[in-house]
Structure 1
Amino acid sequence: MSRKSKYFDRSFQISLLHPKYWLTWIGILILVIFGLLPAWFRDPLARLLAKLVMKIVKKPISVARINLTTCFPEKSTAEIESLIKDNVESFVMTLLAQSELLVRSKAHMRHRVRLYGFEHVTQAREAGNPVIFIMPHVWGIEYAGLRLNLELPMVSMAKAHRNDLFNWFNNRMRSSQGGNIYMREAGIRALLAELKNDNSFFYLPDEDLGRDKSVFTPFLGTVKATLPVVGRLAQVGNAQVMPVKIGYDQKKHRYDLTVMPAISPDDMQGKDNEALALNSAVEQVIQAYPEQYMWFLKVLKTRPKGESPLY
């Protein structure tokens, strides 16, 4: 990565052939093979593998159970366990397919990801506005980003992985349609500069970034620490803020991606109002496909003063 650019370098380095990466290369090869397989053949294999994963990933499942129980207090134990099973299945299905975003054609991506509601983006673009897409951590987020990148210029921001080879492969995939992938260290200023250069991007408002500057706001069946910065970013960057939902249809073997109408700037006046608007958008996206959200993340780690930790 260049110090000047602050985004990931997509070029291949000879150091990635070092023997310490050979196991990673084998893993990448396996993912590429799965990515080339037709979905009707790959998906049943993923469902079988998910049964094994359920027996191995005990800690993430425990976090998911806490999140689901807290966010959906009205659901029975059986309903929660069913959601966890479906969630792991969705994870494995997405993981095995994901390399297709790099190794398959644009026509294939358009077939695999059906896009709805893009008229909202078209209207924003015709008005001279870039778009900040609001999407929480869902399994299909990479599909959403790259499918939209086929239609308009976009950038993204990601956390660096400790394995340099996996880092290179993952960011080659994420930037396969030409959008630069910034490291988190680049900060908000880098994204603001991209808005001014007419590039759009995703903002993930569901991540728990701690108590500092966050606002506790209702979220599903609980409250959540939410960082209200996107409203100011949109205002300075002359951007519109649009929630996006995506879900995988196992029967049709495709993703349905929907861009929802822009959030009114009036609804994001003030930190409390913005946090409420962001959480409301996230709730809509999650409730559309509750089994496809990354429930293993500690999104409720920061709790109001006096409340016991959940994890």
Structure 2
Amino acid sequence: MSLPISPNQPYRVEFCRSMLSPKYWPSWLAVGMMVLLAYLPHRVRYWMARGLARVIRPFCKKPFRIARANLGACFPDMSEAETEAILKKMMFNFSLVGLSMGVLAVKSRKHLEKHIAIKGLEHIERARDQGKPIVFLVPHLWGIEYAGARLSSWGLPMMGMVKHHKNPVFNWLSVRQRCRFGGTVYHRDAGLRTLVQGLRRGESFFYLPDQDHGPEKSIFADFFATQKATLPVIGRLANCGGATVLPLTIGIDKERGNMTMEVFEALDLGTKLSKEAEASLLNHQLERLIGAHPEQYMWFLKVLHTRPEGAKLLYR
């Protein structure tokens, strides 16, 4: 049972007996499979992911069409063979992460510390020494949930926004997973004010600037070989919350199952920075963070849905 949603209050989901109804037995079976997969050796999940990627690819024609459009716009000189190699690796990473999600639900803090390394920890420690919360600038990478869990397990108070699942079993599991190591979640309808207030309480969070929020408040700025509509709001968020903005990326070693999260130096997003300059800075950082692991980016997202006037629409 999910508790009523109210502004500024954490979103909580309590286990209730109705979740054991027969109509939810398939959901519990899926949860059981997820837990079982979490305790299998990584090498087993690796080979399962290779097979799964080949099986589900024929059913992913639309996501692949979107991914090809994104890659074609961002890298017009990329050959067909190079594009296909990235798409193949993207599908494998999707399958591997999907088969491994149970790790975040059941494995211990020590397990995460062993398998997820943090580079650039000095930037986080500097912000904490200054008494500042952190807004992590991160694109939609497959390992993003692991990065959040690792930071929480390290002792950094993290908050996140969640969408309500219609299935109460998955809703309960999703919230429980994100709060295991001390994280706090809010419903995404809570709004930006809740994030600012969380920052003022010392909580940190991930900001994903690659989302397309439409043309109304977005600014077009260079993004690889094209232009992307970007919402220049992170500077105001950080300034209102007294936070430091640190770019972050995470890469998966598919052979060994280990991950490396890298945190970079703080961005200068002072109040004097114009919206155009901020959008340009954000897109430049996205290029760097995505470029570190291009095959692990979610290229099937419609990140280029909003186009400059006169530009060709990509997803028709």
Q: TM-score range by the shorter chain?
A: over 0.9
Residue type at the aligned position of 1:2: P
- More moved, 292-301 vs 15-24: 15-24
Alignment of 1:164-203 (within 5 A): 164-203=168-207
TM-score (norm 2): 0.94
Structure 1, residues 168-208: CA drift from partner, whole Å, max 9, x if none?
21222122112111111100010111111011111111111
Residue type at the aligned position of 1:243: P
Cross-structure match for 2:4: 2
Q: 1:160 aligns with which of 159, 164, 182?
A: 164
Alignment of 1:166-245 (within 5 A): 166-245=170-249
Structure 1, residues 142-171: CA drift from partner, whole Å, max 9, x if none?
000110112211111122233332222122
1:36 & 1:234 partners in 2: Cα distance? 39
1:7 & 1:183 partners in 2: Cα distance? 8
Contact 2:228 2:304 (8 Å CA) reproduced: yes
1:14 matched to 2:17? The reply is yes
Q: Given the superposition, is the C-alpha separation of residues 6 and 58 from structure 1 closer, same or farther in structure 2, using an over 3 Å criterion?
A: farther
1:40 & 1:111 partners in 2: Cα distance? 17
Contact 1:149 1:179 (8 Å CA) reproduced: yes
| Paired-residue identity, % | 43
1:179 & 1:10 partners in 2: Cα distance? 14
Structure 1, residues 239-283: CA drift from partner, whole Å, max 9, x if none?
000010101012332001111111112497111111111111111
Cross-structure match for 1:77: 80
Structure 1, residues 68-92: CA drift from partner, whole Å, max 9, x if none?
1111112101110111000000000
Equivalent pairs counted in the alignment come to 311
- Secondary structure, aligned partner of 1:150: helix
Q: Given the superposition, is the C-alpha separation of residues 6 and 310 from structure 1 closer, same or farther in structure 2, using an over 3 Å criterion?
A: farther
1:118 & 1:233 partners in 2: Cα distance? 23
1:155 & 1:199 partners in 2: Cα distance? 6
Contact 1:90 1:292 (8 Å CA) reproduced: yes
Cross-structure match for 2:312: 308
1:86 matched to 2:97? The reply is no
Cross-structure match for 2:264: 260
Structure 1, residues 213-238: CA drift from partner, whole Å, max 9, x if none?
11111111211111111101111111
- Secondary structure, aligned partner of 1:265: coil
Contact 1:267 1:277 (8 Å CA) reproduced: no
Cross-structure match for 2:48: 45
2:28 & 2:185 partners in 1: Cα distance? 22
- More moved, 257-266 vs 160-169: 160-169
1:107 matched to 2:113? The reply is no
Contact 1:268 1:274 (8 Å CA) reproduced: no
Residue type at the aligned position of 2:306: T
Contact 2:140 2:298 (8 Å CA) reproduced: yes
Cross-structure match for 1:295: 299
1:101 & 1:62 partners in 2: Cα distance? 31
Cross-structure match for 1:279: 283
Cross-structure match for 1:96: 99
2:113 & 2:119 partners in 1: Cα distance? 12
1:180 & 1:126 partners in 2: Cα distance? 22
Residue type at the aligned position of 1:300: L
- Secondary structure, aligned partner of 1:285: helix
Residue type at the aligned position of 1:223: Q
Contact 1:192 1:233 (8 Å CA) reproduced: yes
Cross-structure match for 1:131: 134
TM-score (norm 1): 0.96
- For structure 1, list consecutive stretches of 5 or more residues without a partner in the other structure: none
Residue type at the aligned position of 1:158: V
Residue type at the aligned position of 2:188: R
2:203 & 2:252 partners in 1: Cα distance? 27
1:98 & 1:307 partners in 2: Cα distance? 39
2:140 & 2:133 partners in 1: Cα distance? 22
Q: 2:57 aligns with which of 54, 57, 60?
A: 54
Shift of 1:6: 4.2
Contact 2:136 2:247 (8 Å CA) reproduced: yes
- More moved, 260-269 vs 22-31: 260-269
